Amino acid sequence: MFYRESGDFSTTYSEDSQTFPIKFDRYRYYLVLAVAFLVVPFFINDYWANAVFVPFLIYATAAIGLNILTGYCGQVSLGTGAFMAVGAYAVYKLMTAFPEVSMLIHVPLAGLVTAGVVTIFGLPSLRIKGFYLAVATLAAQFFLVWLFNKVPWFYNYSASGQISSPERSVFGIIVTGPNTEAWAKYMICLIFVTLAALIARNLTRGSVGRKWMAIRDMDIAAEIIGVNPMMAKLTAFAVSGFFIGIAGALFFSVYLGAAEVGESFGIDKSFLVLFMVIIGGLGSIFGSFAGAAFMVLLPVFLKNVFVGMLGWPTDLAAHLQFIVSGGLIIVFLILEPHGLAQLWRVAKEKLRLWPFPH
């Protein structure tokens, strides 16, 4: 009843195979985009940008990246934190080496650098799989963090060992550094996440994506029907690395402003993004957004309820956050292994028929 698809006929193949074949979905999607681009930037303030919108958009980009690797290609990675660090350090080196170049060029370049590094760490996936691969990506996590700490070239020989983002602009608008306006931060992240989602969505429904899914479902069978496992796995690592690198670059330059690698890109970041992907839904682009929103809002919500309303100490809220997110992972895996994205699909089914049961 609320979710209509009657009278919606496709007359060409391209109409039938578009991302949102149902008119209702398509208009809803345009509406969301319009609100995100034309309404939110005028109302956003510093608190909302820093606490909710900017981290949400950046994590959504990272979650899309990990979802391609884990959800679509079935390769579990626990190295997301370090891969984000690669993006962050790449963009830092680029920003300081070429100050006059626009951020719109630096960030994708950092993504490309990350794609290269991640592909190298993806090479073992040709020999090992499953848990073994998960632990192998831990090697990337610890090794890269150590490397960024120990080699002074990466942090331009600064005394503190930290990297801090200088002021850079896009078309004359400052997007990094302490003087950035909230809406500028929001807009640059929004542009990248929109592009990332668009690219990811179209890759995953094309031939590359089908190969990934074939590898995920059963790699030997996929090999037999003619999927080249090396190409499929390495492209998944590269594409995933590209998005994660962009996320890392934005996370450092736009959101944090200054970063210390062990603290900002530690193993807990890897798990956070993995949790987003699981809770949101493995193998779903919408799920990446839903999971990122959920995991960004959860601590804000818990903090507001326990610290703001009940007046509990903050460390207690932090412990509860551990319990709640861990518990939710288990609950989701037991009750709904396909995550929030599946709940959304079920809800759509119900709305289609409402108020009738069948």
Partner 1 sequence: MPEQFLFAMEVILNGLMAGVLYALVALGFVLIFKASGIFNYAQGVMALFAALTLVGIMDGQIPFSHIINAIFGTELHHFGWHVPALLAIILTAGVMVVFAWLVQRYIFRHLVNQEPIILFMATIGLAYFLEGVGDLMWGSDIKKLDVGLPQGINDWIDVTTFEAFGYGFFIDNLDISATIVAVFLVAALIMFSQYTKQGRALRAVADDHQAALSVGISLNFIWVLVWSIAGFVALVAGIMWGAKSGVQFSLSLIALKALPVLMLGGFTSIPGAIVGGLIIGVGEKLFEFLIGPMVGGATENWFAYVLALLFLVFRPQGLFGEKIIERV
Q: Which of 1, 38, 159, 220 binds partner 1 (CB under 8 A)?
A: 220
Burial of 12 (0-12, 13-18, 19+ CB in 10 A): exposed
Helix, coil or strand: residue 174 = strand
Q: Is 327 one of the binding residues for partner 1 (CB under 8 A)? A: yes
Bond prior to 152 in cis (omega within 30° of 0): no
Q: Is 31 one of the binding residues for partner 1 (CB under 8 A)? A: no
Q: Is 54 one of the binding residues for partner 1 (CB under 8 A)? A: no
CA 52 to chain CA mean position, Å: 15
Q: From 9-17, 100-108, 109-117, 322-330, give the range in contact with partner 1 by CB under 8 A.
A: 322-330
Q: Which is nearer to partner 1, 2 or 301 (CB)?
A: 301
Q: Is 143 one of the binding residues for partner 1 (CB under 8 A)? A: yes
Spell out a b/e string for 204-219, using b for 16 or more CB atoms within 10 Å of the CB, else e: beeebbebbbbbbeeb
Beta bridge partners of 164: 258
Write the CA distances from 232 to 73, 131, 282, integer angstroms. Answer: 8, 19, 18
Q: Which is nearer to partner 1, 33 or 151 (CB)?
A: 151
Q: Is 230 one of the binding residues for partner 1 (CB under 8 A)? A: no
Q: Is 334 one of the binding residues for partner 1 (CB under 8 A)? A: yes
**For the range 151-155, what are the long-range contacts, defined as Cβ-Cβ under 8 Å and sequence gap of 24 or more?**
154/89, 154/92, 154/93, 155/89, 155/92
Q: Which is nearer to partner 1, 100 or 315 (CB)?
A: 315
Rounded Cα distance between 148 and 134, Å, is 22
Q: Is 309 one of the binding residues for partner 1 (CB under 8 A)? A: no
**Number of CB atoms found within 10 A of residue 43's CB:** 9
Closest distance of CB 241 from partner 1, Å = 17
Closest distance of CB 248 from partner 1, Å = 19
Write the CA distances from 177 to 57, 151, 164, 168, 189, integer angstroms. Answer: 18, 24, 8, 7, 15
Q: Which is nearer to partner 1, 39 or 221 (CB)?
A: 221
Beta bridge partners of 78: none
Beta bridge partners of 174: 169
Q: Is 342 one of the binding residues for partner 1 (CB under 8 A)? A: no
Q: Which is nearer to partner 1, 13 or 322 (CB)?
A: 322
Q: Which of 32, 230, 326, 349 binds partner 1 (CB under 8 A)?
A: 326
Q: Which is nearer to partner 1, 188 or 214 (CB)?
A: 214
Q: Which is nearer to partner 1, 130 or 166 (CB)?
A: 130
Burial of 159 (0-12, 13-18, 19+ CB in 10 A): exposed
The interface mask with partner 1, positions 121-140, x = CB under 8 A, is ---x--xx-xxx-xxx-xx-
Q: Is 325 one of the binding residues for partner 1 (CB under 8 A)? A: yes
**Which residues form the interface with partner 1 (CB under 8 A)?**
74, 76, 124, 127-128, 130-132, 134-136, 138-139, 141-143, 145-146, 149-151, 218, 220-221, 224, 267, 271, 274-275, 278, 310-313, 315-316, 319-330, 333-334, 337
